[in-house]
Structure 1
Amino acid sequence: MDDDKSAAAQSSVSKSPNPSHLEMMSEKSHYDLPTYPPIEIENPKTILATPSLVPAPYREHEQEHEYAPAALRPPPTNFLRIETGTRDIFGSWRIDTSLDIPESFMYLDPDRRTAPHDHLILSTLDATSRRRRIGGSPRPCHIDAKVELVRYTWSRRAYLDVWSSGRINFRTRPNGQRFSLYTYSKGTETQMVFIPRTFFGPIRAERKYEASSIAGDRLDIRFSPSVTAELLIFSNQDMSRSYFLGPFAEAHYDRHSWRGDQLILFTDAGTIVVQYDDEEWSPFW
């Protein structure tokens, strides 16, 4: 009986995916998962076989935003740069700012060598621009990402950059670690930024002036009711806004020396939505 079960199990594992799945999987690079929205993959071993390269997937509108068990999570890194203009970026990653990464492995902007390097860079912009120059008709490439921060008492603030030619869905689980998130989306695409309840710091949002004729003449940024209840407004202009989330009097905030949480959100002419990660989205905000 046991031999029969073993043989059956081996047979089921050895079966190839159907042709449509095989064709789609052959086109993926090591960090890509199915395009937006995600599709089902018949054989989970396709993902679990190399957890360090292919992050565990999640769905855009899942109700429970639980992270994968520790055994299935990719190992953390202190630097990760992913650029593509032909695919969506979709997955989850772990960042540990206490790790030492040789400079030869990192992309360093010559103008920023004295500033902290970015620990995570996700971009679907540059390659898209290259396609446009050769006469292609590129579709927007979206970013749907979860980032978990590994925290130690000596951990430095994490710097996360997200540049997209399409939609942005970005969720952060900091585990008490402080982080700085910079986002930019082209056109009229929507940004969804999910922050933890522990977020404490400034939020700056801006709409690009050169895109002001695309969709009205004002920045469209929306906060959930729970975020709004704790939000202090410093500036409310047509094209830019400035806020502080949390008890400002306790922050002793200084723009040049601040090392706590912060959001810097840019868009051409799209909508920016900021909410806590345990809230359900509502179109009536």
Structure 2
Amino acid sequence: MSELLFETTGGIATITLNRPDSGNAFTTEMLEAWERALRECIRDDAIRAVVLTGAGRIFCSGGDVKRMAKNAAGGQTAWERGQYLVDHVHRIPLTLQELDKPYIVAVNGAATGAGMDMALMGDLRFAAQSARFAESYIKVGFVAGDGGAWMLPRLVGTPKALEMLWLGDFVGAEEAERIGLVNKMVPDDQLMAHTMAVAERLANGPTVAIRLMKRMVRQGAQSSFPEALTYAAACVGVVSGTEDYREATAAFAEKRKPAFKGR
């Protein structure tokens, strides 16, 4: 059975981490398939929203600790350990930087270590009530090697991020929602229905405007306010020439629901 499942329907691509017996821990094969799936989402204009989740009762336990211990005992050098991250694990966050479509993470269970950090990479995160989160690297004497130490403070603030990174304790779904780690906590049996409803709403929306909004938010986080305004003006120029913009303004005037075409 494939370690990663990828399917598309109705403009929505769903990526499922599929090693439930191993807590959906990463393997090289899974990471490579994950990157290929993301590349397809970038390339295919028929895909307008992407959903990530995990199979079974765990979202993702991150790196395979048994493999890491074996590599350490086998004399793997510091260079080789770092290069594995660059060649495989880092490919996911770097590829996601190229994805300007909505990327929604449905956290169906425990998300620990790099598994939690992969959840943080979503534009939106919804958590099952039974989900829980832990930056568990410290438990094995390790550090966040995939961008978690960069992303987490931006979501929850530096003191809370350091608390999670230094102590490695679990944060439940309710607390995760309170501190802004996830957008919303929902009952376990409603997680995928809620997530897919949001994905469907986005997939059926004005695609160009949605993609430009994501680009604007990213650009704004790394630029001055005047630069952000300049970029916003350029985006307005682009979106005002789309069919969806003309349809939306006509629908507003006619007091009806717009029928977007994604162009």
In the superposition, the TM-score normalised over structure 2's length comes to 0.31
Q: Look at both structures and tell me which one has the larger radius of gyration over its CA atoms.
A: 1
Name whichever structure is richer in helix by fraction: 2
Task: Work out which structure has the larger RCO, using CA pairs closer than 8 Å and 6 or more positions apart in sequence.
Answer: 2
Name whichever structure is richer in strand by fraction: 1
